[in-house]
Amino acid sequence: MYWSRVKTILIILFLCINLFLLVSMMVSINQTITISSDTVEDTVEVLKKNNISVEKSLIPTRMHNMPILQMQNTQQDADAFAERILGEGYTEEKDGDVSKYTLGSSILTVEGCAFSYIKASPSTAITDLNETTVQEHAKKVLERFHLNTKYAVVQAVKKQKDGGYTVAFSQRYAKKDIFNVYITMTFTPQGLKFMKGYWLTPKKFTSEKYPIRHVTSILINFIRNEDRPKDKKVTITDISLGYRADTNDDVVNIKTAPAIPVWRITTDDGKVYYYEAMTGDYIIH
C-alpha cells in the first residue's frame, strides 16, 4: 500500500520537474532583451558627438533570440531555367561558371543563384501599365518563369523617364525581411525589358535560437566603421533586424545556405551597413 503511494508521489514529482524544465527552456528560447530609455538617449548623444544623427524612435528597444533560417536554391538547372525564359532554340556560351544564353535579341546570363535577362526588343504590349498594374504583371511573369514567389514582397516601384516602371522584389519570412535576395524587373509599355536577381527561397527555421546583440552596441560599432563617411554629417534613416543569406561568395554551387540574423543600418546617402546580429561583426560587402 505504501509503495503505491510512493510511486504516485514520485510520478507527480517527475511531472513537476519536467514541467519546470520545459518552462525554463521556453523562457530561455524566447528570451526578450529590453533596452532602457536612458541607454537609448545616451547612445543618441554619443552618436551625435561623432557626427551621426538618429531619431530615438528608430532604435528598437525590445529584441528576441532568433533562429537561423535555412534557404534553398530551387533553380539549380540553368538550362531548364533558360528554356522557361527564352523558349527553345537558344544558343549557349560558357565562361567558367557563367552561362550565357541567347535567342534573337534576348540574352540571359546565369551564375548559380544570380541571373540577368535583357530583351532588347520587347514585343508583349501592356496597355494598362501603371504603378499598380505593373506589380501584377511582374508577379505573373515570375510565376511563368517558375521562380518561387511564395514569400516574395514588393520592395519598391519606380517610374522611368520612358514611361516604364521598375519593380523590386525581396523576400519576407515569418515577418522578417531577407535583405540580400532580390529580383528587379523593368517594364515598358512594350513588355518586360530587363530582369536581374539573386534568388534563394526560405525553407525553415532551425530549432535552436541564438541571442541577439543589443542594437545600441551595434550603433557604437558603427561609429568606428571605416566605410562610413567621416567628413560630413550622416543621418540614420532606418534600423532593421532581419536575415542575410550566408553564401561565402559562392554563388555557383549552392543547394542550401543559412541565412543569419543581421542588423541593417540605412543612412540618408542611400548606403546600407550590415552587422551580424549574434556577434556584432561588420559584414563587408
- Per-residue model confidence (pLDDT) at position 202: 93
Q: pLDDT at position 247, please?
A: 65
CB atoms within 10 A of CB 192: 23
pLDDT score of 251 more than 80 = no
> What region, left, alpha or beta, does residue 55 occupy, with left being phi > 0 and alpha being psi -120 to 50 degrees?
beta
Q: What is the CA radius of gyration of the chain?
A: 25
Pairing outcome for strands 234-245 and 256-267 = antiparallel
| Contact indicator for 246, 180 with CB cutoff of 8 Å | no
Task: Tell me the average pLDDT across 202-217.
Answer: 92
Beta strand ranges found along the chain (DSSP E): 32-34, 52-53, 62-64, 66-72, 91-95, 98-103, 106-111, 114-119, 152-159, 165-173, 176-188, 191-198, 201-210, 234-245, 256-267, 272-276, 282-283
Strands (DSSP E) along 120-200, which ranges? 152-159, 165-173, 176-188, 191-198
Euclidean distance between CA atoms 154 and 193, whole angstroms: 18
Measured N-to-C along each axis, helices 215-223 and 37-49 cross at an angle, to the nearest 10 degrees, of: 10
The cell for 14 is 517527475
Tell whether the model's pLDDT for residue 265 goes beyond 90: yes
Give 85-120 pLDDT, tens digit per residue: 999 999 999 988 889 999 998 999 998 888 999 998
What is the fold, at CATH topology level, of the domain defined by 31-70+204-283? Lipocalin (2.40.128)
Q: What is the pLDDT of residue 284?
A: 82
The mean pLDDT of the chain is: 85
> Position 145: which residue type?
F
Structural domain spans, the chain: 31-70+204-283, 74-199
CATH placement of domain 74-199: 3.30.310.160
Could you give the percent of the chain with pLDDT greater than 90?
59
pLDDT attached to residue 35: 82
- DSSP sequence for 199-216: --EEEEEEEEEE----HH
Are the beta carbons of 67 and 210 closer than 8 angstroms? yes
Q: What is the mean pLDDT of residues 238-256?
A: 78
How far CA 96 is from CA of 58, 73, 117, 183, 232, in Å, comes to 45, 20, 19, 24, 43
Q: What is the pLDDT of residues 151-165, one digit of tens each?
A: 999 999 999 888 899
Q: What does pTM read for this prediction?
A: 0.81
Give the pLDDT confidence score for residue 139 in this predicted structure.
93
pLDDT tens per residue across span 180-197: 899 999 999 888 999 999
C-alpha cell at 212: 541577439
Query: Is the confidence at residue 249, as pLDDT, over 60?
Result: no
Query: Is residue 116 classed exposed, middle or buried when 0-12, 13-18 and 19+ CB atoms within 10 A define those classes?
Result: middle
H-only helix segments in 30-77: 37-49
